[in-house]
Structures are given as C-alpha cells and as structure tokens.
Amino acid sequence: AQSVTQPDIHITVSEGASLELRCNYSYGATPYLFWYVQSPGQGLQLLLKYFSGDTLVQGIKGFEAEFKRSQSSFNLRKPSVHWSDAAEYFCAVFSGSARQLTFGSGTQLTVLP
Amino acid sequence: GAVVSQHPSWVICKSGTSVKIECRSLDFQATTMFWYRQFPKQSLMLMATSNEGSKATYEQGVEKDKFLINHASLTLSTLTVTSAHPEDSSFYICSARGLAGRDTQYFGPGTRLTVL
C-alpha cells in the first residue's frame, strides 16, 4: 500500500530565509505526487504536482519541488519565505489502484519576522 | 484553476438534528468527489468516495447510515450528517476530480460543524 511520510511536524524559519519541506513516499509504480497548502480554517490549495517528465516542477507562490526516484522523495522548496507562507503543508501521492490520494501527516510552517 | 465550493462554511446545530453540506465543482465536471474529515492539528481522513450516479464507497470505520452521501450530478455532491452528536463536530472538506483518472483533486474551503 502507498504511504507518505513528512518527517518534520513543525518547521520555523525567518522571513527571507530559504525553506525545504521533506516528503518521502512509498509506492510500487510511478507516483503522481502533489503538494497542497492549508491556511487555518481553510481548505487545501494545490501548490504543484508531478506526473512525469522534468523532475523539477514549478508551482505557484514561488514554490518548487524535485522528484528523486532513487530517494523516493518529493521535497518542496522556496528560496525566500514570506510571512504569508505560514501554513500547514501536505504532501500526497495518488494511487492508481485505489484511485485516491494518500496524504502525509503535514508540516506546520511558522515564519518569524 | 478549478474551483470547488462548499456550503455552508460553518454550521452550529443541536444534538440530534441532521445537517447537510453541499459541495459543488463550479467550472468543471467532477466524476468523482471525495469527503474528508479533519481533526485539529491532524491530516485529512478520507471518509468516502462518490462517483456520479453511483453509491458512495465508505472507508472502513465510517458509518454509512450516519454520513449519507449523494452525488446526483457531475457538479454536486452532498454530505448529510444524520442525528448529529457532539463527537461529530469537525472540519469537513470535500474534493472533486475531473474526467481523467489521475487528474488533480481540487478541494473545497471546508465546513466547520459544531454540534452542541
């Protein structure tokens, strides 16, 4: 069965600093991978997705993620964090057999002024 | 991008009453809709998957008679919490997926249910 691990429950960075949120997946076939962001009391907004092709994908709000098959990882990065990026971030993998998303446990991002 | 709406955004009800939550895909046809429940500081828990015109498929441990799901059209799914109790208080989020099997799931803004 597929699974997603986000090792960091909570990350704190200063505004303007770079950011990397980790995501590791377990899936037997070619994974379809997603990063979503959730602000308090809100639904999930899609940041970016990887289906195939270029392993470095660009998303909205200046985010990017790199798919590394050898490491089973799909880490999210941003070169310079803004205070408005403070939120909960979820990594997810789509299972073709189950035809549904499996989410990681999420990483809470705090941005210091 | 695709937009999914939910209504209401929050609801407070008395114990024993039923509450209906609507989920609509506004600018695309959603062959599949998903209902999630989220507890504070936790990830999303899939409750059920519904395909248009078919009965919903519930995840293990989710009471289908308590959480009634209807997906009558390609743009509308409803979740009815029947005889709600305080333990049903939660944040409910719907998601919709388009015609292609691996297309992205787009999420609604969520509904905060508080049962007194």
- The tens-digit pLDDT sequence of chain B (116 residues) is 688 999 999 999 999 999 999 999 998 888 899 999 998 888 889 999 998 888 899 999 999 999 999 988 889 999 999 999 999 999 999 999 886 656 688 999 999 999 99
Query: Would you say the C-alpha torsion A3, B95, A19, A79 has a positive or negative sign?
Result: positive
Residue where the block lists tokens 């209807």: B70
pLDDT at A1 exceeding the cut of 90: no
Cβ separation B110–A43 shorter than 8 A? yes
pLDDT given at position A37: 96
Of B101, B106, B112, nearest to A41 by CB-CB distance is B112
* A45: amino acid identity, one letter: Q
Average pLDDT over all residues of chain A: 92
Half-sphere exposure of residue B56: CA atoms within 13 angstroms, side-chain side: 26
Q: Contact at 8 Å (CB) between A90 and A36?
A: yes
Tell me the C-alpha distance between A81 and B78, whole Å: 38
Residues of A in contact with B101 (CB under 8 A): 96, 99
Cβ separation A51–B102 shorter than 8 A? yes
A56 touching B (Cβ < 8 Å): no
Cβ separation A41–B44 shorter than 8 A? no
Please name the residue of chain A whose CA is at the shortest distance from the CA of residue B34.
A100
pLDDT given at position B103: 66
A45 vs chain B: nearest CA distance in angstroms? 7
Tell me the C-alpha distance between A51 and B27, whole Å: 23
Taking only the tens place, the pLDDT of each residue in A66-112 is 999 999 999 999 999 999 999 999 999 987 766 788 899 999 999 99
pLDDT given at position B43: 87
Closest listed residue to residue B33, CA positions, set B63, B76, B62, B65: B76
Q: Contact at 8 Å (CB) between B105 and B115?
A: no
pLDDT given at position B100: 60
Cβ separation A100–B107 shorter than 8 A? no
A32 touching B (Cβ < 8 Å): yes
What one-character DSSP code corresponds to residue B86?
G
Tell me the C-alpha distance between B28 and B98, whole Å: 7
Tell me the C-alpha distance between A87 and B26, whole Å: 25
How many other C-beta atoms are found inside a 10 Å radius of the C-beta of residue B48? Answer: 22
A53 touching B (Cβ < 8 Å): no
pLDDT given at position A84: 95
Q: Chains A, B: CB contacts under 8 A, how many?
A: 50
Cβ separation A43–B43 shorter than 8 A? no
pLDDT given at position A100: 81
Q: What are the residues facing B91 on neighbouring strands?
A: B38, B112
pLDDT at A31 exceeding the cut of 70: yes
